[in-house]
Each structure stands twice: as structure tokens, then as C-alpha cells.
Structure 1
Amino acid sequence: MKESGQVSLYIEDFSSLMSRIGDCGERAYIHVYRRGLASRFLDQLTSHPGNLDSLQELMDITLELDTRYHEGQKEKVIIKIKPHASLLNKDDKSIGSEKERRIKEGLCNYCGRKHPFGKCFKRPENTQGSSKGFPRKQGKA
């Protein structure tokens, strides 16, 4: 099983293989099932209270652990929000107080980073004709 894989798919595949192989004994199936699990389950299984004597019980517990794992992953997803959106007007230009703050702190008035406004590589005027968003070089006259 891949580290990012879901246990439900692993159980499905494992059950399919078990039916093809035939009876090898419960302990052998438990051993092979555990060896195929993603490492994130192994520590949790060793510290799990109770005996894991049956394959079905082991499958149920790993399915429960996997569900909790994926729910936790969903909570970690960060929604990207436009930074400083409240500091911009409808045209994405900084409002007066923000403009003053940026000037006072020596920040770019376009993107808010620490470089002069005229050298901002994010400004459309500075990226025309350039490659990969870097400002075009000024040639010698």
C-alpha cells in the first residue's frame, strides 16, 4: 500500500488476492496484511488497546484509523486567500492609508515587498517582453 493510499482500496485488493490464493491460515493473512500497510498505521497498531487476533478486526481498525487520518488531512488544507485583500480597492490598488504605510516603510506600492516601486517585477509595465516574470534588461544607448 502506498503511503498516501486509502485502506479501503488496500482491503479490497487484499481480499481479492486472498480469495485467489486459498486458505493459508488466519495468522499468515494477518502477517501479510500488516506488512503491506503504510507505515503511518504500524505505530498506531502497536499502541492500540486490545488484541488484534482476527484479520477482520485488524481490517476494521485500520479502516477506522485511515478515516481519521484523511479527516485530519482535510482540516490541514489551507485555502489561499488574496493577501491584504482588505487593503485593496476594487481595482486591486492599495487604498490611501496602506499606500502611506508602504511608502513610510520603504515597501513597493504595487506588491508590498521590500523593493522600490519602479523595480517591481510583478508590475505589468516591467514584465512586458521579459521571460519568466523578470524585468527586461535596459540596453546601452
Structure 2
Amino acid sequence: MANLQAASSSEASRPPAFKTPSMKAPECFDGTQPFKVRSFIQSCQLIFHNDLANFSQDRKKVLYATSFLIGRAAKWIEPYLSNLTNQDSNYLLNSWSLFESQLFTLFGDPNEVRKAEAELDSLRMKEGGHVSLYIADFRILVARIGD
């Protein structure tokens, strides 16, 4: 009886095990559609923040994201992958911020903010449309301008 009570009290004092929920992997990114850069980066960041234990280092983040590059984007990263032993903190494979900025520079839309400003200027609520859709469109454009 004493053993049963001891086992019961030790189980009660142990916090329940938490399993990190699995998340959808990012879609492969080929570099041909500039508007997809942001969603690719955000998908990767969601995975990183959901699994901090496995993505505590920039290098792990970059290598993970690199595994989803195809086409033009894969051709761009190939020369860096041939030098995996480089441990310099300023090397692209070792710096998430450098990797992210290079993706935006090389494959993103250089006129994204101007386009969003123009869309915001011409944004009108459609007759018979829902105000919630108008507000959502407005907030999306403001967020793109604010980056």
C-alpha cells in the first residue's frame, strides 16, 4: 500500500509531458515568384519558434531552409553548400539574418512597398462587400508597407 501511495504521489508531482505539435513543412521555394519569399521565410520561422530545442543555432535554421530550395534558388545556394566546413559567423550558412536578407535581395520584389502603397491608395470597399474583408485587405497592405 505504501508503494502504491509513493508511486501515485510521484506521478502527481511530475508535470505532464508536453509534445511539440507537428507543423506543416514550408513549400519548396524556387525563386521565380518574388511574392513567395515572405511566406517561405515565415513558414520556416514558425517551425523554428515551434521547436526551439532543434533550431537554437542559425546554422541549423539555414540548412533546414536550404533543404526546401529548388530550381534557381537551389542553384544560388549550391556554391555555399560546397563549403559546409566554414564556421565563420559571417558565412551565409551560419547566419539566419544574412540568409534571409539575401533571399529577399535576390528573389524578392524590390517594389513590394511601392506596390502595396499603390494598392492601398486604390483600395475601395466593394458595393455589397463585407466590411470585415475590406479591413483585412487594409491591414494586409499596411503590414507590407510597415516592414
TM-score range, shorter chain: 0.3 to 0.5
Which one has more relative contact order, counting CA pairs under 8 Å at least 6 apart? 2
Structure number, greater radius of gyration: 1
- Bigger share in helix: 2
Scaled by the length of structure 1, the TM-score of the pair is 0.40
Q: TM-score, normalised by structure 2?
A: 0.39
